Chains A and B, each alone.
Chain A
Amino acid sequence: MKSIKSQELTSYLMIAPFFVLFFVFVMMPVGMSIFFSFTYFNMLEPPSFVGWNNYTRLFLDDDIFLIALKNTLIFLLVTGPISYFFCIIFAWIINEFSGKFRAFLTLIFYAPSICGQAYLVWGLILGGDRYGYLNGLLLQMGFLSEPINWLNTERYIMPVLIVVQLWLSLGTAFLAFIAGLQTVDKTLYEAAAVDGVKNRWQELWYVTLPAIKPQLMFGAVMQITSSAAVAEISIMLAGNPSVNYAGSTVVTHLIDYGTVRFEMGYASAIATVLFFIMIGTNKFVQKLLKRVGG
């Protein structure tokens, strides 16, 4: 009995350094933000309590929030799963190659995520005048008679943002899969071959994916947080606000209120709603992932 107690104490001591800092620098700010969501807070005067006002205003009086919510759900439910699938497939294919070539491929595919604001290159490619690379190319080849303003035309904004987001999607999850695949025990494959696994697809489903399940779960959380938080690409490429709010997401809306209009209470309410959407999605996805490997 005593030894169980002392082991528990050791466990707490081991997690203490991380969790003390975590509570001070992460949980406290999150807690404060949830509190602010029930207040009017302009960051100059102390916050004043307004109850559920921010939330009722958000859902009943804010048309733009509904556009933003729709776009974010597109990123979360369509772009997110596609990019998660890409991460698995590309990490797995790269793992098929060996040596220097594999390291090179990892770099090429991860490059868009590592170069910070590399997506700004899309601003050059999609420039709205004849100097944009895509317009220049299409004009030269005769597909267009006049340049298209890709980033300022309502119906092109979301498709463009989806392409850029997919291009950026081989990020954290991808790299975690690459590292995870490297730790898979090679003898598992031999055992599986003996058990009748015939091709690489069966091997992927029955051996590889179950072996990296912890990384798959990690990747799912990363993909949810990144696709629900799409904002920077929208702001930098389409502007904030974008034409007719076509490129608004929940987070661009939040940035609009938080940093432009100084309505921190309202911005916090938006963040809190997004927080619960992500938690719900994560619960659902983690349940699905338990089925991997049949």
Chain B
Amino acid sequence: MKSIKSFFAKKNFKNFKNMLKGRQNHLNRSIAGNSLLFVIMAVCGLFMAMPLIMLTNNALKPLDELYQYPPNIFVRNPTLTNFTDLFSLVNLSWVPFSRYIVNTIIITGISIAGHILCASLAAYPLAKHKFRGRDFLFGLVIMSMMFSSQVTQVSNYMVISALGLSNTYPAVILPTFAYGVGLYLLKQFTEQIPDSMIESARIDGASEWYISFHIIMPNIKPAWLTSAIFQFQVIWSNTGRLLLRDEELKPMQYALTQITASVGREGAAAAIAFVMALIPITFFLVCQSHIMETMISSGIKE
């Protein structure tokens, strides 16, 4: 009797809350607290989004508004001239601009796929197996993240040219496979997979490879997608200036920054700043929405 009563009480409480917030799976929430959080997030959000707003508005400003005083954040006479300027500049590029785009797709696609495969394969034994040298090897990965990349760039260049990879796609692709941040993230998520799940698969006669591909990998997809976001950013900020000499091999981000580098192109530069931000944001949104989907569909935990 008592349990039925409390069941209804809880249910009523939830319904009431749903009207206000639409969050069903959390107990212990007060309306006042929810409203306070909403206000905090609105204020902070505005502060965080401010530069995005300015970036968008600048891209739409005609030249005279870009130099206006007092400076105005919001555009008055929005125009797409900056983008048409950019488009005509892009058509003047050394090799057809589509070539740069293809290069970016090849480099980014293979890098992310290869990295996620290598790192998830390695994450499983590092998180769940016992073998000699495990902690030492994993310690090396973490420590390697702490050495300034500005210094290793030079020795990295030496290694790559000693291997004869300089000025080829693999020069920029292969090192990204061994991206330590991604391995670390995947290993941390693999640790959270319950041992009982792996044990029962073993009892059913599954090999370690089968477990890795069919139990571990599907369950760490949120980590995959998060790691893909990080790696996309790393690749996107790397113009390959040191390692790729042929114009035919260079990625789009290189070509775009080259246009900004020349003087007297404020308008096109504003458009480029917008595009340079838009592409990683799009990638981010695609990955984030998939994270939500996988979480809804899987329900993996014990």
Contacts and interface: CB of A to CB of B under 8 A. Distances in A.
B132 A186 contact: no
A18 B119 contact: yes
Given A28-B159, A96-B23, A183-B295, A12 B28 contact: no
B289 interface: yes
B167 interface: no
A197 interface: yes
Interface stretch (A55-63, A150-158, A210-218): A210-218
Interface in A176-213: 176, 179-180, 182-186, 189-190, 193, 197-200, 202-203
Given A17-B121, A93-B37, A218-B184, A183 B25 contact: no
Contact of A136 (B45, B69, B119, B121): B69
B188 A215 contact: yes
28 contacts: A10-B209, A12-B131, A14-B208, A21-B175, A28-B159, A29-B155, A30-B144, A33-B147, A33-B152, A33-B155, A96-B23, A103-B289, A107-B285, A109-B45, A112-B48, A114-B284, A115-B281, A116-B280, A130-B69, A136-B70, A139-B70, A172-B230, A193-B27, A221-B145, A222-B181, A231-B150, A264-B154, A271-B148
B51 A121 contact: yes
Interface in A62-98: 90, 93-94, 96-98
A108 B48 contact: yes
Nearest to B295: A182
B76 to A, nearest CB: 16
A258 B150 contact: yes
Contacts of A189: 25-28
Given A115-B276, A179-B223, A258 B151 contact: yes
Contact of B177 (A18, A29, A113, A186): A18
B188 A183 contact: no
B34 interface: yes
Contact of B145 (A98, A115, A131, A225): A225
B10 to A, nearest CB: 9
Nearest to A31: B155
Interface string B31-52: 0011001001100110111111
Given A14-B121, A131-B69, A98 B177 contact: no
B210 to A, nearest CB: 11
A218 B223 CA distance: 12
A253 to B, nearest CB: 11
B132 A8 contact: yes
Interface in B145-163: 145-148, 150-152, 154-156, 158-160, 163
A137 B69 CA distance: 11
B280 to A, nearest CB: 5
B236 interface: yes
B156 A107 contact: no
Interface stretch (B81-89, B100-108, B122-130): B122-130
Interface residues of B, number: 101
B125 A255 contact: no
B229 interface: yes
A178 B48 CA distance: 17
A11 B23 contact: no
A111 B191 CA distance: 29
B28 A103 contact: no
Interface of B is mostly: helix
B280 A114 contact: yes
Interface string B283-302: 01100110110010000111
Interface in A257-285: 258-259, 264, 267-268, 270-271, 274-275, 278-279, 282
Interface in A4-62: 7-8, 10-12, 14-15, 17-19, 21-22, 24-30, 32-33, 36, 43
Interface of A: 7-8, 10-12, 14-15, 17-19, 21-22, 24-30, 32-33, 36, 43, 90, 93-94, 96-99, 103, 105-122, 124, 130-133, 136-137, 139-140, 167, 170, 172, 175-176, 179-180, 182-186, 189-190, 193, 197-200, 202-203, 214-215, 217-218, 221-222, 224-225, 228-229, 231, 251, 254-255, 258-259, 264, 267-268, 270-271, 274-275, 278-279, 282
Contacts of A94: 41
B166 interface: no
Contacts of A255: 150
Given A116-B277, A193-B28, A133 B150 contact: no
B281 A218 contact: no
Given A197-B28, A251-B148, A136 B71 contact: yes
A69 B159 CA distance: 30
A21 B178 contact: yes
The 10 closest A-B pairs by CB, nearest first: A214-B188, A121-B51, A32-B155, A115-B277, A11-B125, A29-B155, A18-B122, A25-B175, A21-B178, A22-B178
Contacts of B110: none
